[in-house]
Structure 1
Amino acid sequence: MNNNWPELSFDKLKDTVATVQLWTQIVGKIRLKSMPWLNHSWHVTLYVSPRGLSTHSIPYGEGSFQIDFDFIAHWVIVTCSSGEHQYIDLYPRTVASFYKELFEKMALLKIEVTIYAKPNELDPAIPFAEDEVHKAYDKEQMELFFKALLTINTVFTQFRSKFSGKCSPVHFFWDAFDLAVTRFSGRKAPVHPGGAPNMPDRVMQEAYSHEVSSCGFWPGSEQFPYPAFYAYCYPTPATFGQQPVEPAQAFYSTDMGEFFLKYEDVYNTADPEGALLVFLETTYAAAANTGNWDRQALECDFSWLER
């Protein structure tokens, strides 16, 4: 076993992930309301930190604050540039309890932010203050999931370095609870149809305003009960799903219009990092080749600078 790649099980993770996703939505919405709008909603995301997930610095008043999930100590810490901070413990607690305490602690720090207090991209969308349903938190499972995020973040960062065109940060989207990185061709895309649950179409249309090749990691769902890597492009050329991708365990879902590679298939290889990197590279090539991207102008190799 490669110690950087913990064994993950959707059945063991699912209840904890369902709760933590809603906690991260609350924190992510605080960042959303406090930051200037960035293209493709990049102002809303969280980032993998050495101990969990972080908003990074958020401007506020004459200073800034930051909210961090610590999945090692199992708490959330709100830190201010004034030197003040407050903690919120993570344990099997309801979303309503977490929501109430977080805003109480922010009030103590004199941080006032009003959010849209219902989930996005989830159905049903129970208001956070009323959600007594989601209350699971398995510390061991969350530690395993976070350990996987750390390693995946490193591989995604390596993949991102080989592109000189416009590219997103490696960032964590709390709405779908996935770590993602997106490359752009530089050309505008057809208007996106929208249709995500509890998400305004105009937000989706701005997010996909330009041609993209995107990949990410996702913990799975009841319909697809496996943590998995995915890769898609928008718009999707008719021959995208017919392109050869690696490793051999990767497959294309016609229903989803995406390539998938199960986490367990990466975990079980002799070289998990290499298997994931080749999946990212070959699925990008499938998007770029079928979409007629100017690959020579968009790709780069700085390995000569590292010698």
Structure 2
Amino acid sequence: MELTMEDLPSMPLEEWAATKETLHRFEQIVGKIRLASSPRRNHWWHVPFRLTGTGITTRPMGVVDGNPLFTVDFDFVRHRLTARTEEGREASFPLAGHSVASFYREVLAALDSLGVHVEIARPYPYDLPDAARPFAEDTEHAAYDPFWANRYWRVLGRVGGVLEEFAAGYSGKTSPVHHFWHTFDIAVTRFGGGAVRHPEEAGPLIREAYSEEVVSFGFWFGDESVPEPAFYSYTAPEPEGLTGAPLPDGAEWLDGAHGHLALLRYGRARAAADPRAAVLSFYQAAYEAGAPLLGWDTAGLACPDGVTDPDDKLRSNWWQT
């Protein structure tokens, strides 16, 4: 597979900022439903969305909270939100034409019509400038451009495929490739096994997410600090000397709020002769920068082509016979 510039379409932040801000809050509402209706998993892996063929899904949830088994899916091809129960009942409505406040009411009404009753513990945005305003009162964010929503999905799908390919090269503990609704990024994380203790004041999110040594890899659509999409990687806890490691041409080390990020800007990746190879090379370089400094056995954890069996004979395409 070779990605081209057409496969990674232009995604200038300024062109879809209003849609992005509204959609981010839509996803936080549904994400908080996921948080309230699913059993807790290590490192908060129960919280993020997963990709589907036309958008993103909460995955099945319920039962543990007394509700029937249900899912909530965003469809960025047909531009609808659909809730379904295990009995086949469903409720659906268009994504366009809603403010955050009306979307919030519509989601809860759709679930209620299916016999699903969810109480969001804190129905406010998480870590956004309007975090003190309830979803139910946000009539400011009301932009939904189907063109940019679909393009956002296309980029997610392409990047998700590259992350899946990169994830296959590691035989240690690895997260799923998942889309985080609080930070609006897509990521996969490799764990080395070393325990990390954080002070109480770090908060439950940080203490659980980073309770082990990690090197994480992802992509986000830009923000105030980096106003353009970018591929990224970070090592936590950050070892001394990390930023002295080389990165491929076009990539850079960026001083972030919680340490250093390895960064490959989306435009640089798109301009490469082979964008997929450029991104994979960037992720590998970032991994080789951080993991050895944490003392990981990178050779022993390598998993070429997704194969752990040491017998090369078993690398043949037996599933095609």
TM over 0.5: yes
Greater CA deviation, 165-174 or 125-134?
125-134
Runs of 4+ in 1 over 3 A off after TM superposition: 192-195
The equivalent position to 1:178 in structure 2, one of 178, 182, 185, is 185
Take 2:215 and 2:86, find their aligned partners in 1: how far apart are those partners?
37
- Deviation at residue 51 of structure 1 after TM alignment: 0.4
Residue in structure 1 matched with residue 250 of structure 2 by the alignment = 249
Greater CA deviation, 100-109 or 139-148?
139-148
Residue in structure 1 matched with residue 116 of structure 2 by the alignment = 111
Residue in structure 1 matched with residue 42 of structure 2 by the alignment = 39
- Identity across the alignment (%): 36
Take 2:243 and 2:93, find their aligned partners in 1: how far apart are those partners?
45
**CA deviation digits over 1:80-121, x for unaligned, max 9?**
111100002111421000000110010000001101201112
Query: Is 1:85 aligned to 2:90, yes or no?
Result: yes
User: Which of structures 1 and 2 has the bigger CA Rg?
Assistant: 2
Residue in structure 2 matched with residue 169 of structure 1 by the alignment = 176
Residue in structure 2 matched with residue 198 of structure 1 by the alignment = none
Alignment of 1:247-286 (within 5 A): 248-256=249-257, 257-286=260-289
The 1:263/1:162 distance shift into structure 2, 3 A limit, reads: same
Question: What letter matches 1:285 in structure 2?
Answer: E
Unaligned runs of 5+ in 2: none
Query: Is 1:120 aligned to 2:126, yes or no?
Result: yes
Residue in structure 1 matched with residue 27 of structure 2 by the alignment = 24
The 1:79/1:122 distance shift into structure 2, 3 A limit, reads: same
The 1:110/1:63 distance shift into structure 2, 3 A limit, reads: closer
Take 2:215 and 2:58, find their aligned partners in 1: how far apart are those partners?
25
Unaligned runs of 5+ in 1: 196-200
Residue in structure 2 matched with residue 289 of structure 1 by the alignment = 292
Greater CA deviation, 62-71 or 35-44?
62-71
Alignment of 1:181-260 (within 5 A): 181-191=188-198, 201-246=203-248, 248-256=249-257, 257-260=260-263
Take 2:199 and 2:301, find their aligned partners in 1: how far apart are those partners?
24
- Deviation at residue 255 of structure 1 after TM alignment: 3.8
**CA deviation digits over 1:163-192, x for unaligned, max 9?**
111110000110000001000001102416
Contact 1:185 1:298 survives alignment (8 Å):
no
CA RMSD of aligned residues (A): 1.6
Give the number of aligned pairs: 301
The 1:242/1:190 distance shift into structure 2, 3 A limit, reads: farther
Question: What letter matches 1:98 in structure 2?
Answer: F
Take 1:241 and 1:191, find their aligned partners in 2: how far apart are those partners?
23
